[in-house]
Amino acid sequence: MTAVGRARRIRAAVTARPRLWLAVTLGFPIVYYLVMFAALVIRFQAWPNYAVTYDWLGNVAEIIRATPSLSDMGAIIAQEWLFEIGRMNYDFGNGISEWSLNINPAKVLVVCLLGSLIATLVTLMATRRAACSTGRWTGAGAVGGLGGALVAMTNVTLAWVVCCATPSWVVGLAILGLGVSSSLWLEQFGWWIEYAGFGLLLASLYVLSGDAKTAATITENPYPKSVMGAPQ
């Protein structure tokens, strides 16, 4: 099947279930950040006691004005925060943030993109289930789910004082129980893991948007038939 044919099949699946697609696309980022917040509260058995809103637009404007290199400009802007909520320990002078959840607009865009891809995957899977029930589609959906999990994992924006209080996706692994040293060692592979996750998602969409009749036709008609209908 051509790329145009696959694109049409994806569009048909989405337009057939627009409410499902919108619900997953819009709901995924909300659930994603709520899960991170809940993980912090459950892990540390304490509620946050501070929240800060940053002048993201003003900071971006200042970065654009003061940074001559476009490549450096993009990297710096990608690290800017919009909102932070966490737990402050005031036993140390003016206080030190023990843990926090940070809202980074650049990461939010990636999470929204991930949500739209997962929504497309879900609608395609729903279409396939309505048409047939082959293991091929189930396997493709599982691969897409794995890809989505990898992308979600590498876009975690948590900070923990034990991990040098630096926001990083590996903080989520440390909070879940992986050793701090092991988590920090994995940090260097973050980009590769994220790319692999997107690759698996796109590969899953490619398979699910393919022709579903080929395997069934081969199974049902293993021998070519003549014009009269009898096997040749």
Q: What is the mean pLDDT of the chain?
A: 84
Q: What are 84's two structure tokens?
A: 């932070």
Which pLDDT score is estimated for 134? Answer: 55
% of the chain exceeding 90 in pLDDT: 46
Angle at 153 between CA 188 and CA 109, to 5 degrees: 100
pLDDT at 185 over 60: yes
136 in a structural domain: yes
Report pTM: 0.81
Q: Would you place residue 181 in the very low, low, confident or very high pLDDT band (cuts 50, 70, 90)?
A: confident
pLDDT of amino acid 136: 62
Residue at 58 is within a domain: no
pLDDT of residue 48: 94
For residue range 65-111, list pLDDT tens digits in order.
Answer: 998 888 889 888 988 999 999 999 888 778 888 899 999 999 999 99
Assigned domain for 167 exists: yes
Q: Which domain holds residue 142?
A: 3-47+100-211
Report CA-CA distances (Å) from 103 to 3, 30, 68.
36, 12, 26
Inside any domain, residue 114? yes
Instruction: Give residue 232's pLDDT.
Output: 46
| Angstrom distance (rounded) from CA 225 to CA 215 | 17
Residue with tokens 């997953």: 24
70 within a domain of the structure (yes/no): no
Q: Is residue 121 part of a domain?
A: yes
The structure tokens listed for 54 are: 């940053």
Alpha helices in the chain (DSSP H): 3-16, 18-44, 56-66, 70-77, 105-131, 135-153, 170-176, 180-186, 190-208, 213-220
> Would 162 be classed as within a structural domain?
yes
The tokens for 104 are 């980074």
Does any domain span residue 216? Answer: no
Of residues 228 and 187, the one with the higher pLDDT is: 187
Task: Report the domain count for the chain.
Answer: 1
